[in-house]
Amino acid sequence: MTGNNPTKVQKTDAEWRKELTPEQYYVTRQHGTERPFSSPLNVEKREGMYVCVACGNPLFKSDAKYESGSGWPSFWQPVSPDAVTEHEDSSMLMQRIEIRCGRCDAHLGHVFPDGPQPTGLRYCMNGTALKLMPKDGTSGEK
């Protein structure tokens, strides 16, 4: 496990259920996965910051986003080392590295060693777990 954010957000299950949509709750709190190619963020091209949908923690800059062809928004690095935490995930009969929000522990997705340089990493994130805060100040919604 990596990351250490001193401003951790801790809420009860009932509070998370009240604040998140059913799909956001399923993905972020129950470690679910959205259907591939279902997120509008897959084709999002605006500049800005991708933040955690649950707590607003800055996670990824738009200039680290790339088209991986995987069906989920992909990034080659987080905005800072403590923006996300890594956790071993042996579900689905395979070993993977789960990525969670460094501030509220929301499940975001997984990281794989098949991304572009300079990191060689592919942070494969659920669009449901992210919200774009566009640089132009417009709403993150399309």
pLDDT of residue 7: 81
1 has pLDDT over 80? no
Is 101 within the bounds of a domain? yes
Domain extent for 88:
13-134
Model pTM above 0.75: yes
Q: Is residue 104 in a domain?
A: yes
What pLDDT, on a 0 to 100 scale, did the predictor assign at position 90?
Answer: 75
The one-letter amino acid at 108:
L
How crowded is residue 128: how many other Cβ atoms within 10 Å of its Cβ?
25
As for how many domains the chain has, the answer is 1
pLDDT at 128 over 50: yes
Query: Is residue 49 one of the residues assigned to a domain?
Result: yes
Q: How confident is the model at residue 136 (pLDDT cuts 50, 70, 90)?
A: confident
96 in any annotated domain: yes
CATH number at residue 112: 2.170.150.20
Cite the active site residues.
124
pLDDT at position 3: 45
Residue ranges of the alpha helices (H) in 10-113? 13-19, 22-30
Contact 9, 95 (CB under 8 A): no
Examine residue 87 and state whether it is found in any structural domain, yes or no.
yes
What does the DSSP 8-state code read for residue 136? T
- 111 and 135 in contact (C-beta within 8 Å)? no
